[in-house]
């Protein structure tokens, strides 16, 4: 994801990328990267980079507030940061709060409860996961609701039938543009779920998906940049699972699926602060991405 983003950025005229990498790993193939070694203070290095940069684009998990703290730190030193506002980051870090906000806006969502609030007549199986988890981290499948005492920080959702999918959406101040609709490959392995890859551009972007993105943008107007929306394809229409307020794995195949550099659109967002009027894009070509 990092290497793809750097390549797409450096293919834009006049753009040069500076970044960091773990010294134990190879640097990205493009851009100028500073190796971070044991004992270094990453925050101070990122602060210096932000002061030098015209724009910052952070990528980090929202778990434990990591992404929100990173965004706050960068915004203190650079006026252009491609990320949602911190209030929206905090909301999207909670699956329960996200579901509540979307449900209040009329968006179909997977019901999300605290362990003690699961309806007594609810039929299993259920998915138990961290409220602020990222990806499939910490997910368990149980036939019955969890029994008290409940470990802190968990939420419960019904294991709904449907095809796992995601949207890749360009967002700013409530305005949205769906770049691709993707099929997620999620396998049940025993009592857990495993993410095994994604087919970027697997589904046509139709009016229902555009309307879904518009409703999400209206409910979460603080979203900014390219974000991911996980949902289920069901006979009754799309049902949202969660919103990822950042780049996701699908971005790796986005340029090949679209046939154009998606950051050609983002350059105008960075400069003017608004989602541009995008041209009519051709249908996406399916691209497989395996993590």
Q: Where are any strands of DSSP class E within the chain?
A: 18-22, 32-36, 126-130, 140-142, 154-158, 163-172, 175-189, 192-203, 224-234, 237-244, 287-289
Amino acid 69: pLDDT:
95
DSSP string, 133-163: --TTTT-EEESSPPPSSPPTTEEEEE---SE
Residue 187: which of 207, 205, 164 has the closest Cα? 164
Mean pLDDT by 10 residues, the chain (291 residues): 96 94 97 97 96 94 93 95 94 96 97 92 89 81 87 93 96 92 94 94 96 97 96 97 96 96 80 68 90 82
Amino acid 279: pLDDT:
67
Amino acid 135: pLDDT:
67
Strands 140-142 and 163-172: unpaired
* 73: DSSP letter: H
Amino acid 253: pLDDT:
98
The CATH 3.30.470.20 portion of the chain extends over: 88-109+161-289
Q: For residue range 52-96, what is the model confidence (pLDDT) as tens digits? A: 999 999 999 999 999 999 999 999 999 899 999 999 999 999 999
Look-up of token digits 């390219």: 226
Superfamily of segment(s) 88-109+161-289: ATP-grasp fold, B domain (3.30.470.20)
Q: For residue range 132-164, what is the model confidence (pLDDT) as tens digits? A: 977 667 899 999 888 888 888 999 999 999 999
Amino acid 121: pLDDT:
81
Amino acid 267: pLDDT:
74
Amino acid 49: pLDDT:
97
Amino acid 246: pLDDT:
95
């Amino acid at each position: 994801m990092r290497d793809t983003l750097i390549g797409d950025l450096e293919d834009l005229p006049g753009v040069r990328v500076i970044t960091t990498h773990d010294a134990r790993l190879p640097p990205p193939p493009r851009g100028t990267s500073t190796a971070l070694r044991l004992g270094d203070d990453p925050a101070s290095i990122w602060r210096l980079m932000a002061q030098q940069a015209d724009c910052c684009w952070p990528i980090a998990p929202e778990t434990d507030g990591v992404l929100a703290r990173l965004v706050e730190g960068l915004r203190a030193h650079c006026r252009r940061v491609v990320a949602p506002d911190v209030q929206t980051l905090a909301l999207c870090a909670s699956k329960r709060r996200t579901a509540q906000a979307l449900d209040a806006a009329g968006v179909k969502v997977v019901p999300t409860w605290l362990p003690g609030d699961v309806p007594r007549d609810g039929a299993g199986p259920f998915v138990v996961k961290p409220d602020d988890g990222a990806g499939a981290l910490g997910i368990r499948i149980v036939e019955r609701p969890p029994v008290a005492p409940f470990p802190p920080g968990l939420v419960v959702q019904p294991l709904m039938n449907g095809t796992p999918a995601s949207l890749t959406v360009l967002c700013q101040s409530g305005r949205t543009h769906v770049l691709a609709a993707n099929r997620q490959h999620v396998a049940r392995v025993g009592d857990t779920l495993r993410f095994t890859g994604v087919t970027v551009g697997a589904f046509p972007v139709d009016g229902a998906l555009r309307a879904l993105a518009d409703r999400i943008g209206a409910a979460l107007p603080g979203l900014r940049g390219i974000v991911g929306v996980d949902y289920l394809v069901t006979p009754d229409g799309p049902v949202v699972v969660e919103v990822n307020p950042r780049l996701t794995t699908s971005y790796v195949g986005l340029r090949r699926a679209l046939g154009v550099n998606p950051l050609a659109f983002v350059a105008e967002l960075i400069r003017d602060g608004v989602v541009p009027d995008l041209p009519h894009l051709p249908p996406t070509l399916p691209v497989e991405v395996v993590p």
